[in-house]
Amino acid sequence: MNSDDLARRAGRIAGWAARTGYTLGKRLPGADAAERNLRSLEHRALSELRRRLEAADDPYLATLKEAPAATHQVSGNGRGTTVTVVAPPDPLRAAMAELLNRSANLTRERARDYLYAVILRQLTPDEARILSALSDGSPFPLVDVAERAGLGAGRVVLRNASTVGKAAGVSLLDHVPAYLTRLVGFGLADIDEEAPALSTQYEILLTDETVRAAERLAKRPRFIRRTVRISPLGVAFWQACDPSRTGAEPPSR
């Protein structure tokens, strides 16, 4: 099985697992072996993805590799030896020049793929799970814990706590606020106003240990209710990267 077949097969299995809720299958006979096979396939697929990403064009790394090594010119005049060192070009400036050169002939499709690849390389596995949970467009409750001031909220003790991490099955639940802050920073998620329809979920969120810990640290705590949902960029990014779409037509541009 070549690497492309492996990636396609992993995508189909990942999509099936996401749609059907794979953890329920652990109750079935032979499920342990099936899970081991899935984990093995997932590991191989991730290793292949990592190899491809490492081999991708990175202007900074490319300039480091292509920069000439420092050269030494040695001359003697009978009284001593003079050594002239020629330093390689500044890799940061060379990398910027490389990016500008590429931009001159970059197609719209290639520019999109370049952007998505850069974002993908920065995501953690937990963040990918959260983005998957947001991908259907549903909003999730989000809460900031702040201290009351004379007017409005004062110091913010905790930002972007949400139930989306538990719904996505992330490994580090206490890092969900940081994950969401990063996803918003990447432009993949948007924060919106409070959704009254999610009142029950807000109450559940207020019992979360991360929120309770922040509440204990705050003087006269105040809870700011909002929502988080996938952004337009996040929708386009997910359509391009969604493993369950393997074999489907590429998203419209």
For residues 34 and 218, give the distance between their C-alpha atoms in angstroms, rounded to a whole number: 47
**Overall CATH class of domain 129-238:** alpha beta
What is 7-29 written as a DSSP string? HHHHHHHHHHHHHHTGGGGGGST
Strands (E), 42-188: 71-76, 81-86, 140-148, 153-162
Joined tokens for residue 123: 């995501």
178-203 per-position pLDDT tens digit: 999 999 999 999 999 999 999 999 99
For residues 88 and 28, give the distance between their C-alpha atoms in angstroms, rounded to a whole number: 62
Joined tokens for residue 37: 């096979």
- Which sign, positive or negative, has the C-alpha torsion 191, 110, 94, 67? positive
Quick check: helix, strand or coil at residue 119? helix
- Looking at residue 96, its pLDDT comes to 86
96-150 per-position pLDDT tens digit: 888 888 888 888 998 898 899 999 999 999 999 999 999 999 999 999 999 987 6
Q: Give the residue-averaged pLDDT of 152-178.
A: 92
For residues 34 and 37, give the distance between their C-alpha atoms in angstroms, rounded to a whole number: 5
Q: For residues 210 and 162, is the Cβ–Cβ distance under 8 A?
A: no
60-69 per-position pLDDT tens digit: 666 556 555 4
For residues 162 and 204, give the distance between their C-alpha atoms in angstroms, rounded to a whole number: 10
Q: Which neighbouring-strand residues pair with 224?
A: 144
Say which range, 74-83, 216-225, 237-246, has the weakest mean pLDDT: 74-83
Q: For residues 139 and 195, is the Cβ–Cβ distance under 8 A?
A: yes
For residues 183 and 108, give the distance between their C-alpha atoms in angstroms, rounded to a whole number: 24
For residues 131 and 18, give the distance between their C-alpha atoms in angstroms, rounded to a whole number: 12
